[in-house]
Structure 1
Amino acid sequence: MLKVRVGQYSGAGRQPANQDFCGATAPGGAPLSTKGVAVALADGIGSSEFGRLASQAAVSGFLEDYYCTSDAWSVKHSAERVLAATNSWLFAQTQQGAGRWDKDRGWVCTFSALVVRSRTAHLFHVGDARVWQVQGATLEQLTNDHRVHAGGGRSYLGRALGVAGQVEIDYRSLPLAEGDTFVLTTDGVHEHVRAEAIAAAIAEHADDLDAAARAVAQVAEAAGSEDNLTVQVVSIEQLPAADRGELHRLANELPLPPPLAPRMDFEGLRIVRQLHASSRSHVWLAVDEQTGERLALKAPSTEAGADARWRERFLLEEWVARRVDSPHLLKPRGTAMPRHSLHVAFEYLEGATLAQWMVDHPRPPLDAVRAVVTQLARGLRALHRLEMFHQDLRPENVMVDATGTARIIDYGAVRVAGIAEENDPVPPGTLQYMAPECLRGAPGSARADLYSLAAIAYQMLSGRLPYGVEMARERSEAAQRRMRYRPLALLRPDVPAWVDEALEKALHPDAFKRFDDTAEFVHALGQPAPGSRARRRLPLAERNPLLFWKAVSLLLAVACVALLGLRASGH
């Protein structure tokens, strides 16, 4: 959930009247996610008796009308439409009065606004107020002053609201991180106070942003400012997971990262070594140079990064990771530096993949298998509760650490109900672990993930897949239903028969004949169900079909010899 703190102060200073105006709106409920938090200030020109009215109209109109625009519009489109209408109204007032011949007496004002929506800050600016971002002990100016210097110490506004029928509004967007702080000031403040002094005043009053804004204004007045004084301070306390529109914007705006290499410095990280590489992405071990934390940095390959839809799918991995919470799912990690290129960062896990674990444990005890399967089932349930389906659960996508904790580590194929689209470039799962209905083109589901989990459990116990490679080759429902489950008892006679029953049900070709969810499957692995064949010894035909047919063949051979003997004796 988005949480933003705002502090503000506006005063006349040494002037008889305050021509500045500021305001902020932080709605609750749906508007908070669709429109975000808006903060705005305006500075009316002192030469006009309508300066205060102009700045108040600009700020009040923006904060009211912005939230009335369509939810389908982007922040940029909504704000620009509102500001165009505001400018037209102010210009009309200017034309009706003395400002028609002398713009210094019109309904004219500067304007700056910051809109925080999802995980992005949107800046709108015209005039000589400023928007800053706190960077350590100083400030970084994010806007440009639209003031023209005419020489001899004289200057005038090159752009402002209400001067002409149309106005060009500067726009800028930048990604947010929790803890970011922004400052909006009018020229009566920043022309008299150094950026370091503003940052120091904010740091001193970090718990009370209204007091911080007032302190900055007082410093400006003490430094000799004779203008109106307006300051707004915005602190980002908590950020929500990015929405799909946000992913689309970032996917289009962020450039591909440069080729990474060991010992390279990259956006506040030191690259250590490559962990994994595929045709779609590369994963690197990196160290955050400020915190010392080790991260798994994932970057798209050059080929995949050229596809705009694939870039969006790449960012969806981080979006998924930020929405789920389970000790058995890989967690995302933020970095100290803002992201300037297309990459995502996750926690770095020490351990081995489940594929390697199976090599190291070719015949594991049933309790060890149950422990891993139970953890993976919990991770899947955390996804399923949010209508997310993994679609590519396989041993290579599971990490097991030295304590035996298992985590699902890859979200590249996750399907999110509600935002999944027909043409999403979702990579196919691994065929050997894919549910039969998915092989036929059906979308991922909880029952499909259950099939993959059961296939892994079967392989951990037996070293083989339940249907070999035959199921992966079939694409018709009729052919898939003719497939026969290979009883685990043939390979692991020490495994109870009711475990075999649970696996057979979870691996049924018909999705609706499987367990309803992973918890039910885990329960069935732990104890026999009523009426199970827990104590029934499997017939020889199931335990050892080869021996069974050899015995049948021997009996048939003996019977044939006997019949031939009878015929011979009959002559």
Structure 2
Amino acid sequence: MTQQLKVSVGQYSDKGRKEINQDFYGFYKPPEPQLSTKGIAFAMADGISSSDVSQIASETAVKCFLDDYFCTSDAWSVRHSAHRVLAATNSWLHTQSNNSQFRFDKDKGYVCTLSAMVFKSTTAHIFHVGDTRIYRLQNNALEQLTKDHRLWVSQDKSYLSRALGTGTELELDYQLMPLNCGDIFILATDGVYEHTDARCIISAIKQNSNNLNDAAKIIVKTAFDQGSPDNLTLQIIRVDSLPQLNTNELHQQIDELPFPHILEAREQFDGYTILREVHATSRSHVYLAQDSETNAQVIIKTPSIDLRNDPKYLERFLMEEWIARRINNAHVLKAGLQTRKRNFIYTVTEFIEGQTLTQWLIDNPQPDLETIRGIVEQIARGLRALHRMEILHQDLKPDNIMIDSSGTVKIIDFGSARVAGIVEASVDGEYNDILGTALYTAPEYFLGEGGSQRSDLYSLAVITYHMISREFPYGTQVAKARTAASQRRLSYHSVLDDERETPAWVDETLRKALHPNPYKRYEELSEFLYDLRQPNKAFLSKTRPPLIERSPVAFWQSTSLILSIIIVILLIK
């Protein structure tokens, strides 16, 4: 049986010697499949004593984090999801203060500290702002994992230098660390940790290992007895088991469903009528089918018979539909409607009546530059939709671009895609295989490095270059350059020649987008698209002739004026 992530949690909070409790805390463990794709979340917030509304900030921060984090896309990484949620919470708290009588005194507004953790797969993700603390108990020693954001102005006086709600921008500490069975994490407000010591905490947890709530209560009571004047809140989290295998929905399909047989035309299959085979390769079998309920035509893809024992292949195979369900963009392949239970492993996507970009280039061997720009811009819109979800395509090429009968361009085939959220959920780590087609694959992949959005930009630039010239910017040399030194020796072949009317600035745009070093390419797709339509200012400055060539008269007039001024100054002296 596949082992899941399991934790034991103990927690306790008390207002202590104050009139109200401005602390707030909580955790949420979702059922599968979210347990694997999003993990378990914990959060603790501490209001500031100078504010009468800080308890509202604390409660809002914790509730929003625990609620909204699990509403973010499971394609997003933990860091991206949490930061988006906390940034939105920070903005709301700051706005509340600005719209109230506290707008001129932030210390009395909607402000709080926050420490939060997400356990996903075998990794702990830690988010922190303020002076609430997170500790790890390991090998009978207590280690503080967070840094207090407190500025001391004297030996006994300090104030928070960072907190939720103090400004429009949120500066958040983030770190991650591997989880081990038996690890214990402790979240505590300053009312607890300033009035207890490690020995007390370790002893209470050891003596109450079967009831961590009792351990938390004992530690809080000890801090109170030691004279703590503040609210007191504590959470204790123990890791009881870690996942040994992936338990996400892709693997559940692989484990639970059988493989289909080779399908034939007119055959009834899982509520579909097979119309014809579109193509069959060593990677998959693709069929045009009609949904018996809706009469809509769809594409059904079944896994290769030869690769059915390869779990990585099967995960990538199912990834196409998984991604297509999470992207809603006119330039990205859509998944078919899933209205009934499936009895086999296969994928269903929309049927695009059209042709691949490869075939389109055969039919249109010399497209004009404006047509090329139009196609590239549509591909870029689809790529942006993927990148917003932290998805890299990693195999962008003309065969994976479709142009339908209306001229709409769509990105297809996500079998090589890298999804940040899925990579995080994998206990096996991410795959370092080169999954794309060599001629269109960014050079950094051949160094064994991970890809980035600039890697997809490189592939798009290769497609652009190939549409203009029918050649490739470095020939076949990129795949052979397996060291940084050899990649520095790669020589870009200009797209300009005597037979094509291509502006020189377009060549410079492609040269930059196709640089072997990803950090010397464009940072954003929008920059690349902009420079495809008008000359970059840097290019104009570089290619602009000197003044003596553009206007000799103006040059000598300026020179004469400067010399005259110098002579006058010398005569005066």
TM-score by length of 2: 0.51
Q: Does 1:419 align with 2:422?
A: yes
Asked if 1 retains the 8 angstrom alpha-carbon contact of 2:462 and 2:514, the reply is: yes
| % identical aligned pairs | 44
The code of the aligned residue for 1:509 comes to P
What is the aligned counterpart of 2:502 among 492, 495, 504?
495
- Pick the aligned partner of 2:528 from 516, 521, 526: 521
Q: Distance in 1 between matches of 2:385 and 2:319?
A: 17
Matched, 1:379 2:382: yes
The offset of 1:507, in angstroms, is: 0.2
* Aligned-CA RMSD value: 2.8
Give the structure 2 partner of residue 164 of structure 1.
none
Aligned-residue offset at 1:305: 1.7
329-338 vs 503-512, which deviates more? 329-338
CA contact (8 A) 1:436 1:480 kept: yes
Instruction: Identify the residue that residue 125 of structure 2 maps to in structure 1.
Output: none
Q: Are residues 1:247 and 2:250 paired?
A: yes
| Aligned mate of 1:436, from 433, 437, 443 | 443
- Amino acid of the residue matched to residue 417 of structure 2? V
Q: Distance in 2 between matches of 1:459 and 1:35?
A: 42
Question: Matched residues in 1 for 2:442 and 2:293: separation?
Answer: 44
What residue is the counterpart of 1:20 in the other structure? none
Deviation at 1:306, TM superposition (A): 2.0
- Measured after TM superposition, the shift of residue 30 of structure 1 is 5.5
Tell me the amino acid that sits aligned with residue 411 of structure 1.
Answer: F
Give the whole-Å Cα distance in 2 for the aligned partners of 1:370 and 1:262.
40
**Greater relative contact order (Cα < 8 A, sep 6+):** 2
Quote the residue 1:59 is aligned against: none
1:314 paired residue number: 317
Change in CA separation of 1:535 and 1:491 when aligned onto 2, cut-off 3 Å: farther
Question: Would the aligned equivalents of 2:416 and 2:435 in 1 still touch at CA under 8 Å?
Answer: yes
Tell me the distance in 1 between the aligned counterparts of 2:304 and 2:528.
Answer: 38
Shift of 1:311: 2.1
Q: 1:302 is paired with a residue of what secondary structure?
A: coil
Aligned residue pairs: how many?
A: 310
**Residues 341 and 374 (structure 1), Cα distance of their counterparts in 2 relative to 1, 3 Å cut:** same
Tell whether the 8 Å contact from 1:391 to 1:413 is kept in structure 2 after alignment: yes
Superposed CA offset, 1:407-455 (max 9, x none): 0111000001132253648661000000011122222210110000000
Alpha-carbon offset, residue 536 of structure 1: 5.2
Asked if the contact 1:287–1:293 (Cα under 8 Å) also holds between the matched residues in 2, the reply is yes
Do the aligned partners of residues 535 and 364 (structure 1) sit closer, same or farther apart at CA in structure 2, a change above 3 Å counting? farther
CA distance in 1, matches of 2:263, 2:28: 41
Other-structure match for 1:479: 486
Q: How far off is 1:535 after superposition?
A: 10
Cα 1:346–1:440 change in 2 (3 A) is same
Give the structure 1 partner of residue 139 of structure 2.
Answer: none
Distance 1:348 1:409, change over 3 A: same
| Other-structure match for 1:133 | none
1:358 correspondence with 2:361: yes
Larger radius of gyration, structure 1 or 2?
Answer: 1
Structure 1 SS opposite 2:334: coil
Please state how far the C-alpha of 1:36 moved relative to its aligned partner: 7.9
Distance in 1 of aligned mates of 2:474 and 2:418: 26
Q: 1:300 to 1:404 in 2, by over 3 A?
A: same
CA distance, structure 2, for counterparts of residue 492 and residue 287 of structure 1: 47
Q: 1-side partners of 2:485 and 2:315: how far apart?
A: 37
Q: Within 5 Å, give how 1:140-179 maps onto structure 2.
A: none
Q: 1:498, 1:533 → 2: CA distance? A: 8
**Within-5 A mapping of 1:438-477:** 438-477=445-484
The Cα offsets for residues 366-421 of structure 1, whole Å up to 9 and x where unpaired, read as: 11000010011111111111111000000000001222211011100000113225
1:331 alignment partner, SS class: coil
> Offset at 1:343?
0.4
- Give, in angstroms, the shift of residue 268 of structure 1: 0.6
List gaps (5 residues or longer) in structure 1.
1-27, 38-69, 74-242, 539-571
SS state of the match for residue 538, structure 2? Answer: coil
Q: Deviations over 1:436-485 (max 9, x none)?
A: 11122222210110000000000001111111112222211211111111
Q: State the SS of the aligned residue for 2:479.
A: helix
Match of 2:330 among 317, 327, 332: 327
Distance 2:34 2:489 in 1: 55
Correspondences of 1:217-296 after superposition (within 5 Å): 245-296=248-299
Partner of 1:506: 513
Structure 1 distance, partners of 2:517, 2:434, is 23
| Aligned amino acid, residue 410 of structure 1 | D
- Aligned partner of 1:300 in structure 2 is 303
Q: Structure 1's 533 and 248: CA in aligned 2 closer, same or farther, altered over 3 A?
A: same
1:349 partner SS: coil
Distance 1:339 1:350 in 2: 25
Secondary structure of 2:285's counterpart equals strand
Partners of 2:434 and 2:445 within 8 A in 1? no
Provide closer, same or farther for how the CA distance between residues 344 and 484 of structure 1 changes in structure 2, counting only shifts above 3 A: same
Does the residue aligned with 1:407 lie in a helix, a strand or coil? strand
Cα deviation, 1:33-88, whole Å, max 9, x if unaligned, reads 65889xxxxxxxxxxxxxxxxxxxxxxxxxxxxxxxx9889xxxxxxxxxxxxxxx
Query: Which residue identity does 2:497 align to in structure 1?
Result: L
Task: Find the aligned partners of 1:429 and 1:274 in 2 and give their Cα distance.
Answer: 25
Shift of 1:534: 9.2
Distance verdict in 2 for CA 1:35–1:365, change over 3 Å: closer
* Structure 1 contact 437–511 (Cα < 8 Å) conserved: yes
Judged with a 3 Å threshold, the aligned counterparts in structure 2 of structure 1 residues 309 and 425 are, in CA distance, closer, same or farther, namely: farther
The equivalent of 1:187 in structure 2 is none
- 1-structure distance, mates of 2:504, 2:463: 18
Native 8 Å contact 2:355 2:404 kept in 1: yes
- Is the alpha carbon distance of 1:497 and 1:264 closer, same or farther for their aligned partners in structure 2, counting shifts above 3 Å? same
Matched residue, 1:157? none
Q: 1:317·1:411 contact (CA, 8 Å) conserved in 2?
A: yes
Tell me the SS of whatever aligns to 1:490: coil
Q: Does the Cα contact within 8 Å between 2:33 and 2:248 map onto a contact in 1? A: no
Say if 1:369 and 1:409 are closer, same or farther in 2 by CA, change over 3 A: same
Q: Which amino acid aligns with 1:418?
A: G
Q: TM-score, normalised by structure 1?
A: 0.51
For residues 294-314 of structure 1, give each alpha carbon's deviation from its aligned partner in whole angstroms, at most 9, with x where no partner exists: 001011011222223332332
The residue matched to 2:279 in structure 1 has which SS? strand
CA distance in 2 between counterparts of 1:512 and 1:533 reads: 22
Letter in 2 for 1:375: Q
Task: State the match for 1:390 in structure 2.
Answer: 393
Query: What whole-Å deviation, never above 9, does each CA across 1:194-218 have from its counterpart, x for those lacking one?
Result: xxxxxxxxxxxxxxxxxxxxxxxxx
Q: Counterpart of 2:140?
A: none
